[in-house]
Structures are given as structure tokens and as C-alpha cells.
Amino acid sequence: MIAVVDSGVANLESVMSMLRRIGAEAEVTADAGKIKSASHVILPGVGAAAPAMAQLRAKNLIDTLLALTQPVFGICLGMQVLFESSTEGSGTDCLGIIPGTMKLLPASPDVPVPHMGWNQITLKKPGHPLLRGVDNNSFVYFVHSYAAPVSDSTLASCDYGTSFAAIASVRNFMGCQFHPERSGAVGSQILKNFLDL
Amino acid sequence: MLAKRIIPCLDVKDGQVVKGVQFRDHQVVGDIIGLAQRYRDEGADELVFYDITASSDGRVVDRNWIARVSAVLDIPFCVAGGICSVEEARVVLAFGADKVSINSPALEKPELIDAMAREFGSQCVVVGIDSHFEDGAYMVYQYTGDVKKTHATSRRTLDWAAEAARRGAGEIVLNCMNQDGMRQGYDIKQLRAVRERISIPLIASGGAGALEHFAAVFKDAHVDGALAASVFHKQVLSVGDVKNFLKQQGITVRI
């Protein structure tokens, strides 16, 4: 069973419908026992880092998530909370699994923020199993204002005014800043790769 | 490179795609799922569904079609029409929509933009603006979904766009009413003026009729996406035609 962590956000349905399309059995849950025993854990999320962390704390899920040894996949804000912190709002401490701080993308008339739309990813570690069958420069769908700097944990980067981590991974934890569930065939390939881990 | 987006817009009434003549006599033009898939297969970057069931008769709207769309689409989609509150937006997002678009309700109650951005994040919140050029100024119109209720407001388009962005809108769709349905091209001048005022994504709407119109709005008005309805519904052009042409013109598109 795949556990989709109920992070209290409104739109989990897009992730669930993608999982159904690729034939995966998943359950939305905030139950620590179910999350621990799941084969794969998906941490979805839209919105802001502080309320997302507050939700995880309120549901007593922080220690559960930190202790997971099965493959864990954060999507968009779900990836952001895997990092150390975010400068969003007055600053938020996150899970600290992946080194680095999420920062606001610099906006300009040529670079509107939020970064919204289809952008290309540059594969930094094309041999990683999460990227199997994914071409360099593939287009995927982004919607975000904060981003993590490129580092050793970066599997793929994206350029938008600045270069940032589009896909990152540390141990069994990985995440993507874009929305695989709305990124056409490329997104579904990445999710299938995750479920094959 | 961030690709320029091509966004077909579909009018939905009672769960089916319709086409009206001067906002009346709506005829069913097709099944919502079939049309959504067709545009997706042609290469649409996202879809906008304008639910016209809601605004006119004020009854509780059946939004189940959104879940059916979400189940089949692997590209993002936005729902517009009849979303007047945070709770209404929550229902639409829970059914699987990626964004909600608000227009007249935001004019009635601008704080709705702040509240929705706080609750769901700016990336979910699109503000639609119906703008009409008259007496040398771009003015905002309200309730354009219903001829009998349509009226000018005292707001200037450029100021309202800037205010919406400041309040937390993640994107502006500017519908240029003078051009709407004319298929004579987008209002480049107006779009460029709005582009210079806001630093959130801007989507052009109203006037698309030929391949050149799409190239011009990206090259000359620097918008992020171009929305079109009739030109796609009447199959004057396909989304694929438009994207291939844009690519030839050196504009980054997702093909």
C-alpha cells in the first residue's frame, strides 16, 4: 500500500487520480501506523511552508516521517519541507533531511513569480533510478515561488532567473519541485519510477 | 526555458461543454471529458473550464464533473465561474482543480483574493479581469457572463491588476472585451501596459483568430500564456498548429 500523507491541504485529488491512472493503490492518511507500514510514502502539498509544517506537527507526524526507511517522495511543497528551512513568511524550520534553505525566486518583469508553467529540467544525475526513461530538457509543470539551491543532492535542476533544484534526493528521501501528476507522460514516468523503487 | 502556454477555454453548463450565441441559447457542443482529452492530445498546456451554470441562477452547483476531469487529465486545469468564497474554492480544489479563477466576486470583495491566497497559496488563485477601452482608458467590467447584468465599474484595469497582484493573486487573465470574439488579434497595447505594471504571470484573452496573433502577443506583449476559445472550438486552428507555428517563430513552446 502507498500512503499519501494527509497534510491538510485542499487538493490531494490530483495526486490520487494520477496514482489511480498508473494503477497504484494508495490511501490518504495521517495515521502514523499506516504511514510506517506503507511500501512507499508520498508527501504532497501546496500552499506555504509554515502552515504545512504546523499541520505535520499538529498531527504528530514529524518523528514518524524522519524515521521512515522506505522510499519517500515529496511533491512541490512536500519536497520543500524535506529541506532544512524556508525563508517564507518570517522563516520556518523544516524537516532538515536535505541540506539547504528554500528562498524566494527573484522576480523581474521578464521573470514573473510565481514560476508558473512548463519548464525544462537539466539532468544532473541521469543514472538515478528516479530518472529512468526521462530525457534531458524534458518539460514539466511548475507552480511555486520558493526554491532550493542546486547542491550535491540535486538530481535535476531548472533555470528560471536563477538555477534551482527541480528534483533532489538524500538516501530514501526524494522530491520534485514540479507537479508530476500534472506533467504529462514525463511526470507519470517519474512517479512510476518512484513506485518501482 | 519556460514555455509559453496555450490555453483552450471551455464553457461548461450542467456538466457539459456548451457554446452560446451572445450569452444565450446555449447549445451542447460535446462531452466535457472527450473535449478535454482532445485538447490535451493536441498539446494544450492547461485548460480553463468556465462554469456558467453557477452565476446566472444562484442555485447550488453540481461540481462532480471536476472530479471526472481530474481523473483523466495529466495537465493542469483551472475552474472559473461562480466561486464566491473560500469554501466554494475549497470544494473546487478538493475535486481536483489546480487553480480557481475569480472575477466579479473579487470586485465585490477584494479581500477574497487575500483570503484565498492565504488559505491555498497564490499559485491557486487566478484573477480574471474583463477590460473595456472607452474614453481613452481601460475600465474594468463586471458580470460579463450575463448581458443584462454587465456593467462598467469605476476601476481602472491597470490599477485593479496591480491591486490583485498585491493582494496575492498568482496570475492575471486579462480578457480584452473590445477584441473578444472578433478574431482580429489580441490587444497588444493593453496587454503590454498591464505587463509593465505586474510581475506575476499574465494570460492574454480575447481576439485570437490566426497563427500570427499568437506569435504577436508573445513577442510584443510578453505575456506568459494565450487563452482562446472559439478559434479552437470551431477548429479554425488546432493547438498543435499554433505550437508548431510558434516554434518556427523561435518562441519556446512545449512540443
Kindly report, residue by residue over B145-202, the tens digit of the pLDDT.
666 778 888 999 999 999 999 999 999 999 998 888 788 999 999 999 999 999 999 9
Count how many domains chain B has.
1
pLDDT digits (tens, 9 = 90+) for B38-51: 999 999 999 999 98
Q: What is the pLDDT of residue B214?
A: 98
B66, three cell numbers:
471536476
Q: What is the pLDDT of residue B57?
A: 56
Q: Are the beta carbons of A96 and A65 closer than 8 angstroms?
A: no
Is 50 exceeded by the pLDDT of residue B207?
yes
Q: For residue B215, what are the contacts with CB-CB under 8 A and spacing of at least 6?
A: B245, B246, B249, B251
Residue with cell 519510477: A193
pLDDT value at B108 more than 70 = yes
DSSP state of A108: B
CA B100 – CA B106 distance, rounded (Å):
12
pLDDT 10s digits, A109-155: 789 999 999 999 999 999 999 999 999 999 999 999 999 999 999 99
Q: In what order do the strands lie in the sheet with A72-75?
A: A26-29, A2-5, A40-43, A72-75, A173-176, A162-170, A154-160, A115-123, A139-144
Can you point out the beta strands (E) in B103-215?
125-134, 137-142, 151-156, 171-176, 202-205
Helix, strand, coil % over all residues of chain A, rounded to 5:
25, 35, 40
- Asked whether residue B59 carries a pLDDT value surpassing 60, the answer given is no
Helix/strand/coil for A141: strand
Nearest to A17 among B1, B70, B195 (CB): B70
Is A128 catalytic? The answer is no
User: Are A139 and B2 contacting, i.e. CB atoms less than 8 angstroms apart?
Assistant: no
Q: Is B130 a catalytic residue?
A: yes
Structural domain that includes position B236: 5-248
Angstroms from A94 CA to nearest CA on chain B: 18
Chain A residue numbers with beta carbons less than 8 Å from the beta carbon of B198 are 112
Q: Is residue B133 part of a domain?
A: yes
Residues B38, B44, B45, B50, CA torsion sign: negative
pLDDT at A70 over 60: yes
A108, A117, A179 ranked by CB distance to B199: nearest: A108
Nearest to B76 by CA among A8, A68, A27, A114: A114
How distant, in Å, are the alpha carbons of A146, B52, B148, B150, B208 from that of B24?
44, 11, 11, 14, 22
Please name which of A116, A167, A143, A131 lies closest in space to residue A11, comparing C-alpha atoms. A143
Q: Which of A99, A155, A149, A92 is nearest to A123 (CA)?
A: A155
> How does residue A7 score in pLDDT terms, banded at 50, 70 and 90?
confident
Q: Which residue of B has its CA nearest to A89?
A: B118
The confidence band for B121, taking pLDDT boundaries of 50, 70 and 90, is confident
Contact between B1 and A185 using a beta-carbon 8 Å cutoff: no
Average predicted confidence (pLDDT) for chain B: 90
Mutation to test the A interface, candidates B41, B65, B122, B123, most A Cβ within 10 Å: B123
Give contacts of A21 with chain B, Cβ < 8 Å: 71-72, 74
Print the domain residue range for A189.
2-196
Contact list, B5 vs chain A (CB under 8 Å): 117-118
- Indicate the range of B71-80, B87-96, B104-113, B219-228 predicted with least confidence: B87-96
Q: Which residues of A touch B7 (CB under 8 A)?
A: none
Query: How would residue B22 be classed by pLDDT, with cut points 50, 70 and 90?
Result: very low
In the numeric block, the cell 466561486 is attached to B83
> Coil, strand or helix: which one is B196?
helix
Chain B CA closest to residue A139: B254
C-alpha cell at B3: 514555455
B82 secondary structure, DSSP code: S
Q: Residue B32 corresponds to which amino acid?
A: I
Mutate to test the interface with A, among B74, B171, B222 (most CBs of A within 10 A): B74
d(CA B127, CA B119): 16
- Tell me whether residues A47 and B67 touch, CB distance under 8 A: no
pLDDT tens digits for range A73-118: 999 999 999 999 999 878 899 999 999 999 999 988 789 999 999 9
User: Distance between CA atoms of B213 and B207, rounded to whole angstroms?
Assistant: 8
> How many structural domains are present in chain A?
1
Q: Is A58 on the interface with B (CB under 8 A)?
A: no
The CB density around residue B112, as the number of other CB atoms within 10 Å, is: 21
Q: What residues 127-146 of chain A have any CB closer than 8 A to a CB of chain B?
A: 139, 141, 143-145
Asked whether the beta carbons of A22 and B102 are under 8 A apart, the reply is no
Contact B158, B131 (CB under 8 A): no
The reported pLDDT for the residue numbered B52 is: 79
- Burial class from Cβ neighbours inside 10 Å (0-12, 13-18, 19+) for residue B172 reads buried
Best A14, A55, A137, A157 member to test B by mutation, with max B CBs in 10 Å, is: A14
- Provide DSSP, A33-78: HHHHH-SEEEE---S-HHHHHHHHHHTT-HHHHHT--S-EEEETHH
For B18, the enclosing helix (H) or strand (E) is: strand B16-21
Q: Enumerate the residues of chain B whose CB falls inside 8 A of the CB of residue A20.
A: 71
Segment B120-144 shows an average pLDDT of 90
The pLDDT value given to residue A160: 96
Catalytic residue among B45, B51, B130, B224: B130
Q: Domain with B200 in it: what CATH number?
A: 3.20.20.70
Helices (H) and strands (E) in chain B, counts: 11, 12
Out of B3, B94, B96, name the one closest to residue A119 (CB): B3
Q: Test B98 with A179 for CB contact under 8 angstroms.
A: yes
Tell me, what's the pLDDT at A108?
Answer: 83
Cβ-Cβ contacts under 8 Å, B95 against chain A: 13
Q: What is the CATH number of the domain that holds A163?
A: 3.40.50.880
Predicted local distance difference test score (pLDDT) of residue B25: 62
User: With 60 as the cut, is the pLDDT of residue B139 above it?
Assistant: yes
Q: Which amino acid is residue B62, in one-letter code?
A: D
Contact: B254, A46; criterion CB under 8 Å: no
Numbered residues of chain B with Cβ closer than 8 Å to any chain A Cβ: 1-3, 5, 45, 67, 70-76, 89-90, 93-98, 119-124, 170-171, 195-196, 198-202, 222, 224-225, 254
